[in-house]
Structure 1
Amino acid sequence: MQRLITAREVLAGPVGQRIKDGAVLIDGDTITAAGPREEIERAADDDALRSDHPRHAILPGLINCHVHLAFNCGQHVVDELRATDDSALLLGMAGRAQQALASGVTTVRDLGDRDGLVFQVRAAVERGELLGPRILAAGPPLTPPLGHCWFLGGEVDGPEAIRERIRRNAALGADVIKVMASGGSLTPESVSMREEQFGVAELKLIVREARDAGLPVAAHAHGSDSIAAATEAGVDTIEHCTWMRTGGEGHDRRDDVARAMVERGVRACVATPAKWREFMQVIGPASARNVVQRLRWMDDLGVPLITGTDAGVSHRSGFGDFVEALELYEHVGFPLERIIELATTGSATGIGQGDRIGRIAPGYAADLLVVEGDPLSDLAALREIRLVLTAGRVVPLP
Structure 2
Amino acid sequence: MIVTAGRVLTAPDEEPLQDGAVLVAADGTISAVGPRADVIRLTGPAVDRWDLPDDTVLPGLVNCHVHLALDAGPDPVGALRDTDDGVLRSAMAERARRLLDAGVTTARDLGDRGGLAAELRDTIAAGAVTGPRLLNAGAPLTVPGGHFWFLGGEVADDASIRAAVADRARRGADVIKVMASGGHMTPGGAAMWEPQFDVRQLGVVVDAAREAGLPVAAHAHGTGSIAACAQAGVDTIEHCTWLVGSPAEGRYETPGHVAEMIAAAGIYVCPARSSGWARFPRLDSLLDRLAFMDGHGIRMVAGTDAGVTGSRFEDFAAGLGLYARAGWSPARILAMATTEAAAAVGLADSIGRLAPGFSADLIAVSGDPLTDPAALGRVRFVLARGRPHVPAQVSA
Could you list the per-position Cα deviations for residues 296-316 of structure 1 after superposition, in whole angstroms to 9, with x for gaps in the alignment?
A: 1111211011100100011x2
Instruction: Tell me the SS of whatever aligns to 1:256.
Output: helix
TM-score of the two chains, using structure 1 as the length reference:
0.95
**9, 12, 15: which is aligned to 2:10?**
12
Change (3 A) 1:379 1:202: same
Displacement of 1:16 after TM fit? 2.9
In structure 2, what is the equivalent of residue 306 of structure 1?
301
Letter in 2 for 1:323: A
Tell me if 1:295 matches 2:290: yes
In structure 2, what is the equivalent of residue 128 of structure 1?
127
In structure 1, what is the equivalent of residue 173 of structure 2?
174
8 Å CA contact 2:274–2:315 kept in 1: the answer is: no
In structure 2, what is the equivalent of residue 367 of structure 1?
361
8 Å CA contact 2:274–2:318 kept in 1: the answer is: no
In structure 1, what is the equivalent of residue 145 of structure 2?
146
8 Å CA contact 2:162–2:208 kept in 1: the answer is: yes
8 Å CA contact 1:12–1:360 kept in 2: the answer is: yes
Displacement of 1:249 after TM fit? 5.8
2:369 and 2:391 map into 1 onto residues whose CA distance is 19
2:241 and 2:19 map into 1 onto residues whose CA distance is 42
In structure 2, what is the equivalent of residue 192 of structure 1?
191
8 Å CA contact 2:4–2:52 kept in 1: the answer is: yes
**Structure 1: gaps of 5 or more residues:** none
Could you list the per-position Cα deviations for residues 7-65 of structure 1 after superposition, in whole angstroms to 9, with x for gaps in the alignment?
A: 12111123234222211110121111111222212222232112222221100111100
Change (3 A) 1:103 1:249: closer
Query: Superposition pairs for residues 55-134 of structure 1, below 5 Å?
Result: 55-134=54-133
**351, 354, 357: which is aligned to 2:345?**
351
Could you list the per-position Cα deviations for residues 68-115 of structure 1 after superposition, in whole angstroms to 9, with x for gaps in the alignment?
A: 000011111111111111111111111100111011111110000112
Displacement of 1:291 after TM fit? 1.1
How many residue pairs get aligned? The number is: 389
In structure 1, what is the equivalent of residue 274 of structure 2?
273
Displacement of 1:117 after TM fit? 1.4
Could you list the per-position Cα deviations for residues 262-293 of structure 1 after superposition, in whole angstroms to 9, with x for gaps in the alignment?
A: 11001100001222213x1xxx2xx3212111
2:194 and 2:250 map into 1 onto residues whose CA distance is 12
TM-score of the two chains, using structure 2 as the length reference:
0.96
Letter in 2 for 1:352: G
**Structure 2: gaps of 5 or more residues:** none
Could you list the per-position Cα deviations for residues 191-242 of structure 1 after superposition, in whole angstroms to 9, with x for gaps in the alignment?
A: 1111100001100000000000000000000000000000000000000000
2:391 and 2:238 map into 1 onto residues whose CA distance is 31
Q: Percent identity?
A: 48
Instruction: Tell me the SS of whatever aligns to 2:41.
Output: helix
8 Å CA contact 2:100–2:391 kept in 1: the answer is: no
1:237 and 1:393 map into 2 onto residues whose CA distance is 30
8 Å CA contact 1:225–1:246 kept in 2: the answer is: no
Tell me if 1:24 matches 2:22: yes
In structure 2, what is the equivalent of residue 335 of structure 1?
329
- Over the residues paired in the alignment, what is the CA RMSD in angstroms? 1.3
Mean CA deviation greater in 152-161 or 288-297: 288-297
